[in-house]
Amino acid sequence: MISNKWAKLIKSLHQKKYRKAEQLFFVEGEKAVLEVLASGWTVPALFATDVFIQQHAQAVKAAALLQPCNSDELVKVGTFISNDAALAVVEIPQWPEFSAGTASWTLVLDNINDPGNLGTIIRIADWYGIKHIISSPDTADCFNPKVVAAAKGSFLRVQLHYQPLAETLARTNMPVYGAYLGGENVHQLKLNQAGGYIVLGNEANGISNQVSQYISRKITIPAFGGAESLNVGIAAAVICDNLLRLSH
């Protein structure tokens, strides 16, 4: 059974201000919880069904506190419509300050609002081996439950750094590629060097004027049909695929 104390805490972690105050977030579902238990991240509490505990007796030892419960309790405190496995309360990691590596790619997110889009972008970064994402302070919180769910465990391997974008880009000597509706065709792009920053803008307004001044190359995904635009997550995948393929 999930105690009232823990139920109240987990429900509070649905909101960013309490995640920040407590320095905690939660992860739901069998696969994601197993990944976080195996990751070495600190798990102060794990709430799991008897079946999950029996099937993963060794893995659950990674949690400081284990409380058996039923699926209805997991659904009540979490965000999933159904959850017959587990929910883990996890400490937010303290990542070191961002430092650009030589010949590495970094994603830059300028006010990405939608948690689902952010989770998808984190998963895409992980797929292409991109270890760091720089996000504007107004980008969605990477420990939002919807972001965590959409990232499918990739949040464990990609570090997000929230900081002013203009100041960061002003200091770099690496190329800065910005995704626009008009620009160099990403399919025909020739790279001057491997690595750089890939800037993706807000879902409705694109890259802000403040950040645009630091874009060294505007790139675009050519359209062959009549759609007005691409979802930012889809655009991130196409751009990453082309740029990383060219640089390897």
Dump pLDDT digits (tens) for 110-169: 999 999 999 999 999 999 999 999 999 999 999 999 999 999 999 999 999 999 999 999
pTM of the shown model: 0.94
Do the domains at 4-91 and 105-246 have one common CATH topology?
no
All residues at 6 or more sequence positions from 131 whose CB lies less than 8 Å from its CB, including other chains: 104, 125, 157, 158, 159
DSSP state of 202: B
223 has pLDDT over 80: yes
Averaged over 63-75, what is the pLDDT?
98
Coil, strand, or helix at residue 211?
helix
**CATH tag for 105-246 (out of 1.20.1260.10, 2.40.50.100, 3.40.190.10, 3.40.1280.10):** 3.40.1280.10
DSSP 156: G
> What residue segments make up the domains of the chain, in order of their start?
4-91, 105-246
Mean pLDDT of 68-88: 97
C-alpha span between 190 and 179 (Å, rounded): 16
- The CATH topology of domain 4-91 is 60s Ribosomal Protein L30; Chain: A; (3.30.1330)
Question: 66 vs 84, 95, 156, CA distance in Å?
Answer: 16, 26, 21
